[in-house]
Amino acid sequence: MNAPKIPIDLIFSRLAENARRLQERTRKASDVLLDGLQTSIATTPYEVVCQEDRVKLKHYLPRTKSRLKTPLLVVYALINRETMLDLQPGRSVVERFLEDGVDLYMIDWGYPGRKDKFLTIDDHVNGYMDTMVDFIRKKHRLRKINLMGICMGGTFSVMYAALHPAKIRNLVTTVTPTHFDTDQGLLHVWMKAVDVDRMVDTYGNIPGDLLNFSFLLLNPARLMIDKYVGFMDKMDDKTFVENFIRMEKWIFDSPDVPGETFRQFMKDCYQQNLLIKNQMVIGGRRIDLRKIRVPLMNFYGQYDHLVPPAACEGLTRAVGSTDTEDVCLKTGHIGIYVSAKFQQEFAPKIARWLKARDLKPRAATGSKTRKTGSHRRKAV
Partner 1 sequence: MSEPSNPHSDPLNMLNLWLKASGNFWSALSPAEPSKPPGSRKSAESASQKSRGRHSHMESAFNAWQTMAGAMAQPETLASLAKGPSALPEIFVQLAQSGMQHFLAMQQAVMDKGTQIGQKAQALRFETFDRDVFRLLSDLYAGELKKYLNFPQMGLTRFYQERLQRSMDTFADFQSAMAEFVHMVCLPMESALSVMQEELSAMAEADKLPEAPEEYYRMWIKTLEKHYLELFKSEDYLQVLQRTVRSSTDYVRSRKAVLLDVLQLFPVATEKDMDDVYRELYELKKRLKVLEKRKKPPEKA
Catalytic residue check, 151: yes
Distances (CA, A) of 162 to 158, 208, 238, 298: 6, 29, 47, 15
| Count of residues that bind partner 1 according to CB under 8 A | 38
Measured from the Cβ of residue 329, the count of other Cβ atoms closer than 10 Å reads 24
Distance from C-alpha of 223 to C-alpha of 216, rounded to nearest angstrom: 6
Measured from the Cβ of residue 91, the count of other Cβ atoms closer than 10 Å reads 16
Is the CB of 6 or the CB of 379 nearer to partner 1? 6
Q: How far is the CB of 376 from partner 1 (least distance, A)?
A: 32
In the set 194, 281, 356, 359, which binds partner 1 (CB under 8 A)?
194
Can residue 226 be called a binding residue for partner 1 (CB under 8 A)?
Answer: yes
Can residue 203 be called a binding residue for partner 1 (CB under 8 A)?
Answer: yes
Contact 187, 218 (CB under 8 A): yes
Can residue 6 be called a binding residue for partner 1 (CB under 8 A)?
Answer: yes
Q: How far is the CB of 360 from partner 1 (least distance, A)?
A: 20
Can residue 141 be called a binding residue for partner 1 (CB under 8 A)?
Answer: no
Can residue 18 be called a binding residue for partner 1 (CB under 8 A)?
Answer: yes
Q: How many degrees, rounded to 5, is the angle at CA 245 between CA 243 and CA 249?
A: 115
With the CA atoms of 326, 328, 329 and 330 taken in that order, what torsion angle do they form, in degrees rounded to the nearest 10? -170
In the set 24, 61, 89, 118, which binds partner 1 (CB under 8 A)?
118
Contact 74, 347 (CB under 8 A): no
> Which residues in the 166-185 window bind partner 1 by CB under 8 A?
183
Is the CB of 264 or the CB of 322 nearer to partner 1? 264
Kindly write out the interface string for residues 64-103 of this chain, putting x where it contacts partner 1 by CB under 8 A and - elsewhere.
----------------------------------------
Can residue 231 be called a binding residue for partner 1 (CB under 8 A)?
Answer: no
In the set 218, 245, 274, 310, which binds partner 1 (CB under 8 A)?
218
Distance from C-alpha of 333 to C-alpha of 175, rounded to nearest angstrom: 7
Distance from C-alpha of 152 to C-alpha of 333, rounded to nearest angstrom: 12
In the set 34, 229, 340, 379, which binds partner 1 (CB under 8 A)?
229
Can residue 20 be called a binding residue for partner 1 (CB under 8 A)?
Answer: no
Can residue 190 be called a binding residue for partner 1 (CB under 8 A)?
Answer: yes
Query: Which one from 50, 151, 312, 328 is the annotated catalytic residue?
Result: 151
Contact 357, 323 (CB under 8 A): yes
| Site for partner 1, rule CB under 8 A | 4-7, 10-11, 14-15, 18, 114-115, 117-119, 123, 127, 183, 186, 189-190, 193-195, 198-199, 201-204, 217-222, 225-226, 229
- Annotated active-site positions, please? 151
